[in-house]
Amino acid sequence: MADVDIRVEGHAGRITLNRPQALNALTHDICTQISDALHRWVTDDAVALVILDAVGTRAFCAGGDIAQIHAAGSAGDFDTARAFWRDEYALNLYLSTYPKPIVSMMQGYVMGGGVGLGCHVRHRVVGESTRISMPECAIGLIPDVGGTYLLARAPGQMGLYLGLTGARMGPGDAIWCGFADHFIPEIAWPGVTAALCETGRLDALYARLTVPPHAQLGDIARTVDAAFSAASVTEVMAELDLNAEDWAVTAHKALQHNSPLSTSLTRAMITARPTTLAAALRQEYRATHRLVKEGDLLEGIRAQIIEKDRSPRWRHGAPYNVTEAEVDAVLAPLGPDELVLTV
């Protein structure tokens, strides 16, 4: 079976991720196929809308296939990852500007690259099982695929909390934080999908909308804002160390474990509040382009995914060892290697 099932059903273009055994992780080839289909359908009058979904109950998409990135990078090939990110980020932007309605149906884990695929379209549906997160700091990367753009627009300091710690959002949280639009019970998804295909109209979607579950993150928003308003990651950790609430203890542990360089970069990128998705993607590419060779990414993937010893050896022992000059250097323009985005 193909890793992505692309077809036209009735009035709908259908894009279904089909790697359930790999939690529907994205590959470069999958991104290319999706982009090609979208460009083909944009002038096809038979396609009124697009439905983006995935096979399996565990995940819509748990991110990019980082094992491939590790294999190439460990052999000294950094261009493979960079080429993937260039095309993936271009797809992220195209999804956000697509002239026809795109409906993403996001069950289970939606992480990293899955956010870039499903959370920039116009009609983002979540269900009971949805768990959205940006856990890149745990592998020595930064929240990319436009993640810094979304996180910067979450309420208060919630984007910093989510981006630095990789905390997960349930369906109510995802809508409250701006990562999703609609809640529909998952038992109704097959009927909604069939009706969208049959009619090519969004009425079928709106007819099944349900009040989303309570946004639990709202309950801790005040104390999150207080802690994550601190002027550095080190100071955030000090604030969290004074808080005995479960969420704060878990957040502190995450910051102790995550890459100091990644958390420092992520804080800088989110607090800069990129004005457009394209600007965020260009800045993210500067970071990922460098981190695959000069940062913690390969070591983070080794520790978390390849050898799974969960004991990464980061280049900096703690966030206070990361200087502003180092952050600025990672985010500096790339010259001829800058990401060029066209819609």
- Where do the domains of the chain lie? 4-337
What is the tens place of the pLDDT at every residue in 75-124? 999 999 999 999 999 999 999 999 999 999 999 999 999 999 999 999 99
pTM: 0.97
Average pLDDT, the chain: 97
Pair 286, 331: CB distance under 8 Å: yes
pLDDT band at 206 (very low <50, low <70, confident <90, very high): very high
Predicted pLDDT of residue 125:
98
The predicted-structure confidence for 17-32, as pLDDT tens digits, reads as follows: 999 999 999 999 999 9
pLDDT at residue 343 in the model: 65
Pairing of strands 4-9, 12-17: antiparallel
What does the pLDDT read at residue 291? 98
CA distances from 29 to 17, 73, 153, 178, 246 (A): 12, 18, 31, 29, 41
Instruction: State pLDDT tens for residues 221-277.
Output: 999 999 999 999 999 999 999 999 999 999 999 999 999 999 999 999 999 999 999
The pair of structure tokens assigned to 26 is: 């994205």
Specify the residue for token string 């208060």. Answer: 156
Q: What is the mean pLDDT of residues 304-323?
A: 95
Q: Give the residue-averaged pLDDT of 288-299.
A: 97
Q: Which fold has domain 4-337?
A: 2-enoyl-CoA Hydratase; Chain A, domain 1 (3.90.226)
Please choose, from the candidates 251, 262, 316, the residue with its C-alpha nearest in 3D space to the C-alpha of residue 284: 262
**pLDDT over 90 (residue 2):** yes
Angle between helices 260-271 and 277-294 (to 10 degrees): 160
What pLDDT was estimated at residue 342?
Answer: 83
